[in-house]
A = this chain, B = another copy of it.
């Protein structure tokens, strides 16, 4: 988790050449020459929690990659109501859908924690894409994964109860946020408000509160604010059962 303590250093100090996140992203297919192009055109920046990386409707001029932190992708309707669509974490890319399909962002992005981002301008992306067809395949793969997730979310939302969906959400969040306690239980701090949870589950904040209460009664998970304790992973898994492959 921390073989390189300098990864949180000053943004400008990091070159794409030795960026460990690049190795794990779709940018990993680039050769030396192309990495130089990437390095020249990328700019990185930091955001405080609550800060907005871009707004829905803004011109989409390139692609972001999360270097560290958690980013919320939100979508707002005509009434100004805004719903959380998904989360993005370190190593993941942001804004590439709009980059490939339209000229402006169809969502907004907001930092949920202190966040470091890298931005690659559209010209550079375009150039790299023609240089290296494998890069396109990387994005194709990424986009395909997102589509798969969206389709699964659709099935979950229309066939599973809020309680089951809540359990499923906890299960996915634990992979990224949970740490094991000595007694075998799991502890995690949610990056989300109750309203955000409601948005992801496709329900209301009140229902989320009630569902959380129900899970506590059955000792599946204990909530205190954003801190969650899962005493036994198995009982959480039992909540699922009826998922398709």
Interface residues of A (CB under 8 A from B): 75-78, 83, 85, 97-98, 100-101, 106, 129-130, 133, 136-137, 139-141, 143-148, 150-151, 153-155, 157-159, 202-203, 243-245
Known: A136-B136, A159-B202. A144 touches B100 (CB 8 A): yes
Contacting residues, chain B, for A244 (C-beta < 8 A): 75-78
Number of copies: 2
How far is the CB of A123 from the nearest CB of chain B, in Å? 15
How far is the CB of A203 from the nearest CB of chain B, in Å? 7
Contacting residues, chain B, for A139 (C-beta < 8 A): 140
* CB-CB nearest in chain B for A201: B158
Residue contact A75 to B137, C-beta cutoff 8 Å: no
19 A–B pairs (Cβ distance < 8 Å), ordered by A? A76-B244, A77-B244, A78-B244, A85-B151, A97-B144, A100-B140, A100-B143, A101-B140, A130-B133, A136-B136, A136-B137, A139-B140, A143-B143, A147-B147, A147-B150, A150-B154, A153-B154, A154-B154, A157-B158
Contacting residues, chain B, for A77 (C-beta < 8 A): 243-245
Residue contact A78 to B202, C-beta cutoff 8 Å: no
| CB contact between A203 and one of B85, B100, B158 (< 8 Å): that residue | B158
Contacting residues, chain B, for A137 (C-beta < 8 A): 100, 129, 136
Contacting residues, chain B, for A145 (C-beta < 8 A): 101
Compute how far the CA of A98 lies from the CA of B140 in the bound complex, rounded to whole angstroms: 11
Compute how far the CA of A101 lies from the CA of B77 in the bound complex, rounded to whole angstroms: 31
Contacting residues, chain B, for A75 (C-beta < 8 A): 151, 155, 244
A75-B155, A139-B140, A150-B150 provided; 13 other pairs, C-beta below 8 A?
A75-B151, A77-B243, A78-B244, A83-B155, A101-B145, A133-B133, A136-B140, A143-B144, A147-B147, A147-B150, A150-B154, A153-B154, A154-B202
Residue contact A143 to B147, C-beta cutoff 8 Å: yes
Compute how far the CA of A60 lies from the CA of B150 in the bound complex, rounded to whole angstroms: 21
| CB contact between A136 and one of B133, B157, B243 (< 8 Å): that residue | B133
Compute how far the CA of A75 lies from the CA of B151 in the bound complex, rounded to whole angstroms: 10
